[in-house]
Structure 1
């Protein structure tokens, strides 16, 4: 602020006092984004991240990529960091890498992907290819996708973590039917992250996996926070409950995401979207008040008709 601007503000304030006019409101400051600590490293991560399954699997055309460029830019601008992909997701890794480079965002993002193949040599080739596509070496998080050849790849990843090629290692799955297998690996292997499905429609992880992860000091990424999208589609035309305002929610998507991130074991939820309006709505769930256990039960009942 220069001298002329300062004098102008003082004059305006004096005018308001003299004529009993209300002062101009200060610019609204957005609420602080809720963040969680990664137990293995102490690093803080915002509780709302970004998934890329299906949404970022597009061709090289400008018309296809422009909406995703807007989504990624807005995600970072709103304080988002964790973006998750996989070689299973078609072109998603390549698209994320190229857009992040074009936007100058690599240093602002926490980049996570996965290994999804059999055998040590094939796994190394695939992970090297993923890091090249994402422009991320070292990569922030490499996960064994759906526990495919999990012991082989975790052995490689432990070597790579010691060498500084990866910063964190983890395992993933997306079905409740595989939670027992995930729990066995979680109980017997040293990992930094576990990624699992959890939502008001798929609450099974809260019975065993989330407490186990908390006990083991393992960060939790939640995929399918909307139950694969079915919940949001089903609730779209239903009025939002009045009590949603008590936890600063203005949409069903925000309610469903707050149900997830309010669990004390959850580090980050990763809803996927290709629409910037949906991205903004999702990110708002990472701000304001979180539901207590009674309110979480209300969300689950309202979402599932219970």
Structure 2
């Protein structure tokens, strides 16, 4: 037996014992936060939005490409099934943008079919260089989603953020939206995001964070904790690059100790177990993949030592 096999077996025994003990002592609590899970979904990992103390399931849903299906009736029906599985698995936050083609319209179509408008957490964006167009985009999003107000409005990729944050702050003060935020991706413009976080009152930021892309750990995540800002993690799988990296590779044996049955759950649990990450937003058009993703909300979560060993395992692949 090689070194990594021995270590995996040792860790599996250690974390299985710890998880079993925790399940007897705290059956209705998240192993990560120690906070009660919603009664409708015992054991569901939720995070607290710092600015409101509202609970948020730690896995949401992205809609880039996957919900941009236009008027295709077959593709739309598939989106209805995907969203139904998302809700069934305990999800709430749905992230979109005017940049994503027909995605907002398709989300609204699905919500109407499922009659679940009250359950979801709507999160979309302003994506335009013009302030006046930003206001119109907010109204367009409300119409397309079929809701009276969008819960979270974000400035997409910091585009004209000064003008749009001014607009969003006004709309929030008027009660037309509940939360405001800014987004980036691919590790871009982190210094600028940091300055905005220091200078403005934000409820959310959105950035890229996954088991490979961890630049945000150095400054942005600690600052979010300090300022009381919730963090949405996009690109949890680097699109498909992480799956290509582990293609044909078996999960580490220790993954069973945190309830991982596939690589998607392994990658997601690494993200949502970080104490400063509020929600990860994987996107998929496959029903089985959505069910796999949502299963990562339950079961034991890796602690800091386990996370370090997950990083080591990925480096060894």
Q: TM-score normalized by structure 1?
A: 0.88
Q: Does the alignment pair 1:305 with 2:305?
A: no
C-alpha separation between the residues in 1 aligned to 2:196 and 2:240? 28
Whether contact under 8 Å (1:256, 1:299) holds in the other structure is no
Whether contact under 8 Å (1:68, 1:275) holds in the other structure is no
Query: Partner of 2:210: helix, strand, or coil?
Result: coil
Which residue of the other structure, out of 191, 196, 211, is the alignment partner of 1:185? Answer: 196
Which residue of the other structure, out of 39, 50, 55, is the alignment partner of 1:44? Answer: 55
Q: Does the alignment pair 1:284 with 2:295?
A: yes
Q: Does the alignment pair 1:273 with 2:300?
A: no
C-alpha separation between the residues in 1 aligned to 2:41 and 2:141? 35
Aligned to 2:168: 157
The number of residue pairs the alignment matches comes to 278
Aligned to 1:123: 134
Query: Partner of 1:36: helix, strand, or coil?
Result: strand
Aligned to 1:17: none
- Residue 228 of structure 1 and its aligned partner are, at CA, apart by 2.2
Gaps of at least 5 residues in structure 2 are 1-39
C-alpha separation between the residues in 2 aligned to 1:90 and 1:192? 26
Q: How does 1:199-210 map to 2 (within 5 A)?
A: 199-210=210-221
Which residue of the other structure, out of 234, 259, 263, is the alignment partner of 1:223? Answer: 234
- Residue 296 of structure 1 and its aligned partner are, at CA, apart by 1.0
Change over 3 Å in CA distance of 1:30–1:118 after alignment to 2:
closer
Whether contact under 8 Å (1:58, 1:91) holds in the other structure is yes
Query: Partner of 1:195: helix, strand, or coil?
Result: strand
C-alpha separation between the residues in 2 aligned to 1:211 and 1:60? 43
C-alpha separation between the residues in 2 aligned to 1:30 and 1:193? 25
- Residue 135 of structure 1 and its aligned partner are, at CA, apart by 1.3
Whether contact under 8 Å (1:85, 1:114) holds in the other structure is yes
Q: Does the alignment pair 1:101 with 2:112?
A: yes
Gaps of at least 5 residues in structure 1 are 1-28
Change over 3 Å in CA distance of 1:233–1:136 after alignment to 2:
farther
Whether contact under 8 Å (1:201, 1:304) holds in the other structure is no
- Residue 73 of structure 1 and its aligned partner are, at CA, apart by 0.7
Aligned to 2:71: 60
C-alpha separation between the residues in 1 aligned to 2:135 and 2:315? 43
Change over 3 Å in CA distance of 1:209–1:263 after alignment to 2:
same
